[in-house]
Structure 1
Amino acid sequence: MTPSRPVPPPAHDLVLVGRIGAAHGIKGEVRLVSFTEDPKAIGDYGALQDADGKRRFEIATLRRVKDNIFIARFVGISTRDAAEALNNLELYLPRAALPAAAEGEFYHADLIGLAAVDGAGTEIGRVLNVLNFGGGDILEIAPAGGGETLLLPFTTACVPSVDLAAKRLLIVPPIEIEAVPEGDDLDTFR
């Protein structure tokens, strides 16, 4: 049995730093969502690229709308039609272009592809993705034996150690708690 999605290679060297949104106006401007720690820093790294590295985008102007959302104009994009063609395009930088992560912090790209092992060192699977739906990071792990991916919170309780040099992280799955059907006596289930 194979994992439901392929595991990316461990040498994932691009970091997602932004996403282009809808066109703004008629002169080629777009909404730009920044994922950098300091949102305005997205304009400080030079040319950004698409996922396959075939297209490069240099920010000509950048003005903040709110928090991490900007109105941006890219060099060479001067019409609404050209701007609309970029909608939902994700923008990346090579990992080497970014500063080192602080102690206890990690770029998602550093975690993707790492082996997830238990306390005995047995590989449970590999990190397929790092998700965040607003409540904190969640590791999506493709099981070594195949099947449905596992979702684990990326907390020190569930992931007490990350060893980037060894390309692995230790996982301690949370205790599963079953819900008691409504109207049933809790003592029945003990």
Structure 2
Amino acid sequence: MTDWLNVGKIVNTHGIHGEVRVISKTDFPEQRYKAGNMLYILKDGNHRVPVTVRSWRQHKQFDLVSFEDMENVNLVETYKGSLLQVHTSQLDDHLGEGEFYYHEIIGLSVETEEGKLIGAVKEILSPGANDVWVVQPEGKGKEVLIPYIDDVVKEIKLNEQKIIITPMEGLLD
């Protein structure tokens, strides 16, 4: 595993006071973007700029984040298209039972209770009430969308790198 985790992507500026629009890829935006937290902007794919969160709020499908000492749109304009990252040493080890970081789930194989391999989790979407895991089947199949709900996801075995599911009717058709 890499020492750096992507928590979001700066897609645009918002207003004139230095806020940026972020498409979030973090499990816990309210914790990750809390005022005073340290993030790193990966600029041009090879240079990390440390920044401290000044404010965070949600607006439509975006997270709006501002940074200390960057209270002007001209100071953040250059970061459009850059990734926001955290170092793995910044992760909180106090997750509750049944809570996982996205990076722990992505890459795990998914199989039915009968042992039929579905594929591997390639992405996690957070469209609403529950997460949806995008599973890439072995070979050339169409992606399978697995809702992260108790009726479907029966067991997550991190040590075995697999997830056991009971597919809802029509899920694998």
User: What is the TM-score of this pair, normalised by structure 1?
Assistant: 0.68
2:136 partner letter:
A
Q: 1:106 is aligned with what amino acid?
A: F
Hey, what's the Cα distance between the residues in 1 that align with 2:145 and 2:43? 24
Indicate the structure with greater strand content.
2
Letter in 2 for 1:117: E
The 5 Å alignment of 1:52-63 reads 54-60=46-52, 62-63=54-55
Larger RCO (CA under 8 A, 6+ residues apart): 1
1:50 to 27, 36, 42: 42
Residue of structure 2 equivalent to 1:139? 133
Segments of 5+ residues of structure 1 without an aligned counterpart are: 1-10, 178-190
In 2, are the aligned partners of 1:30 and 1:73 still within 8 Å (CA)? Answer: no
Give 1:55 deviation, angstroms. 2.4
Alpha carbons of structure 1 residues 39 and 99: separation in structure 2 relative to 1, 3 Å:
closer
Distance 1:31 1:152, change over 3 A: same
The structure-2 alpha-carbon separation of the partners of 1:85 and 1:23, relative to structure 1 and needing over 3 Å to count, comes to farther
Alpha-carbon contact 2:104-2:158 (below 8 Å) kept: yes
Give yes or no for contact 2:130–2:147 (8 Å, CA) kept in 1. yes
Cα distance in 2 for partners of 1:95, 1:53 equals: 18
Structure 2: gaps of 5 or more residues: none
C-alpha change, 1:52 and 1:136, in structure 2 (3 Å) is farther
In structure 2, the partner of 1:8 is none
Whole-angstrom CA distance in 1 between matches of 2:65 and 2:72 = 18
Decide which of 16, 24, 30 is 2:19's aligned counterpart: 30
Q: Give deviations 1:138-157, integer Å, cap 9, x for gaps.
A: 01000113221101101111
Q: Which one of 144, 147, 153 corresponds to residue 159 of structure 1? A: 153
- Which residue matches 1:41? 34
Q: Is the 8 A contact 1:126 1:141 kept in 2?
A: yes
User: Deviation at 1:161?
Assistant: 0.7
Asked which structure has the greater CA Rg, the reply is: 1
Q: Report the Cα offset of residue 49 of structure 1.
A: 4.2
- From the superposition, tell whether residues 60 and 39 of structure 1 become closer, same or farther in structure 2 (CA, over 3 Å): closer
1:43-83: CA deviations, max 9, x gaps? 42x34243996222322561355685333246xx7975552
Residue 73 of structure 2 corresponds to residue 71 of structure 1: no
TM-aligned CA distance change 1:160 to 1:61, over 3 Å: closer
The alpha-carbon deviation at position 159 of structure 1 amounts to: 0.7
- RMSD between aligned alpha carbons? 3.2
The aligned length equals 162
TM superposition shift of 1:93: 1.5
Alpha-carbon distance in 2 for matches of 1:129, 1:93: 18
Aligned to 2:122: 128
Counterpart of 1:83, as a letter, is: V
- % of aligned pairs identical? 23
Matched, 1:17 2:18: no
CA distance in 1, matches of 2:158, 2:49: 30
- Which residue in the other structure is 2:88 paired with? 95
TM-score where L is the length of structure 2: 0.73
